[in-house]
Amino acid sequence: MADPIVDRVGALMREAATTAILPMFRRLDAADVTEKAPGELVTVADRQAEELLDAGLRRLLPGSEVVGEEGVAADPGVLDRLKGPGPVWLVDPVDGTANFAAGRQPFAVMVALREAGVTRTSWILDPVGDTLLVARAGDGAYRDGLAVRMSPAALEPTALRGPAPTRFLPPDLRERILAGGHRLGELLPGLHCAGQEYADIVAGRQHFALFWRTLPWDHVPGTLLVEEAGGVVRRFDGSAYDPTDGRPGLLAAASEQIWDTVHAALLAS
Alpha carbon dihedral 53, 58, 64, 70, in 10-degree steps, equals 30
Q: Are residues 209 and 179 in the same domain?
A: yes
Domain of residue 210, CATH code: 3.40.190.80
Last residue of a domain, one of 148, 168, 183: 148
Question: Distance between CA atoms of 168 and 35, rounded to whole angstroms?
Answer: 18
Together in a domain, 43 and 143: yes
- Percent of the chain's residues with pLDDT above 70: 99
229 and 103 fall within a common domain: no
Specify whether 111 is located in the same domain as 161: no
Q: Are 135 and 17 found together in one domain?
A: yes
Residues 6+ apart with CB under 8 A from 268: none
Indicate whether 2 pLDDT > 90: no
**Angstrom distance (rounded) from CA 247 to CA 16:** 31
In the listed set 128, 148, 168, which residue is the last one of a domain according to the structure?
148
C-alpha 209/C-alpha 197 separation (Å) is 7
Mean pLDDT on 120-125:
98
- Strand, coil or helix: what is 2? coil
Whether residues 133 and 161 share a domain: the answer is no
Q: 178: domain range?
A: 157-266
**What value does the mean pLDDT take over residues 39-49?**
96
Give yes or no for residue 24 having a pLDDT over 60. Answer: yes
Question: pLDDT digits over 146-155, tens only?
Answer: 999 998 888 9
CA dist., res. 147 & res. 213, Å (int): 29
Please give the pLDDT value at position 34.
Answer: 96
Look up the pTM and report it. 0.97
Torsion sign across C-alpha atoms 234, 239, 241, 247 = negative
Q: What's the total number of domains in the chain?
A: 2
